[in-house]
Amino acid sequence: MLPDLNDLLGTARVVSLPLVTRFRGIDTREALLLEGPQGWTEFSPFVEYDDAESAAWLWAAIEFGWQQTPDVVRERIPVNATVPAVEPAAVVAVLARFPGCRTAKVKVASLGQTLADDVARVREVRSVLGPEGRIRIDANGLWNLDEAEHAIHALAEFDLEYVEQPCASIDELAEIRRRTHYLTVPIAADESVRRSDDPLAVARAGAADILVLKAQPQGGIRAALSVSRQTGLPVVVSSALDTSVGIAMGAYLAAALPELEFDCGLGTASLLAADVTTEPLLPVDGSIPVRRVVPDAALLDQHAASAERRDWWLERLARVYEVVAD
């Protein structure tokens, strides 16, 4: 059963956290935090998402705050470093924020940059990690088929672990997987799973070798576990640039998976210049613990969003609640 909307509004705190470096086109990350009977939880769909798409994020927040988490089979989650679309000279400093991480996810295909920029960035990451490090790249669906084929061929020399969402559509993913099969570089699907009305369509179409699952966009831990079970594909659990409260939700998802072949994208608290807790879920020796996070009252006050942004989020919460209730 849904908690009453007034119960949600009564504990809601809206924060605006600065990022270390620009990421996904933003310099600050806004989030709405709620406290339920099971602990603190997070509702933070990106601001451009409409109410219908944001409903899954609210389902996830309510599940994590008002229901017990599924049983877990591990206490720590190995995580990857995340390298935004920075200049090669900045790579060393970025990776230093992820101590002990053996895997790096590198953002590529960013607006205003070229394939040469991507190659230079990935080359520097490979140089810093050494031959034993693992590199995955993420294009966020921004290449067309020909661009993706050319880029994957150009970047394959760096021994890629996989390519995440090289193209936008499922049909394109299936085709690029066919075109680049000879390179033996796996294709991972993210947006085609979390932003799809049918998260199983990718697997049915043979469009991906790996699924990237995120607890909030997927509608919660149990919904994500169901997708994993039904597809039978290996899973990488990632965050959506959450606060440590939201990352904890992802950690419980990763901890509940029977198998966890890949390092997870749950080290992203390292991309925040500030967090809501004095004990953020930062990587230590390449992993984060599985535990709930309790925000610090002083940090909630320090990083409180403006009154205008607070009201925007509270109004959004009320609208999305009506979508969920219907």
Binding-site sequence positions: 138, 164, 190
Give catalytic status of residue 105 as yes or no: no
- Beta-carbon contacts of 1 under 8 Å, excluding residues fewer than 6 positions away, are none
* Distance of alpha carbon 290 from alpha carbon 77, whole angstroms: 7
* Sequence-ordered list of residues with C-beta below 8 angstroms from that of 116, at least 6 positions apart, any chain: none
Looking at the DSSP assignment, which residues form a beta bridge with residue 134? Answer: 103
Q: Which two tokens stand for residue 108?
A: 């590529």
Q: Among 107, 177, 310, 316, which one carries the catalytic annotation? A: 107
Q: List the 81-83 sheet strands across, edge first.
A: 81-83, 103-107, 134-138, 160-164, 187-189, 210-214, 235-238
Q: Find the helix or strand (DSSP H, E) in which 137 lies.
A: strand 134-138
Q: Which helix (H) or strand (E) holds 15?
A: strand 13-23
Catalytic one of 13, 214, 310, 316: 214
In three-state secondary structure terms, 318 is helix
Helices (H), the chain: 5-11, 51-66, 91-96, 115-129, 145-155, 170-179, 191-194, 201-204, 215-218, 221-231, 244-256, 297-302, 307-325
* Residues tagged in the binding site annotation for Mg(2+): 138, 164, 190
Catalytic residue list: 107, 214
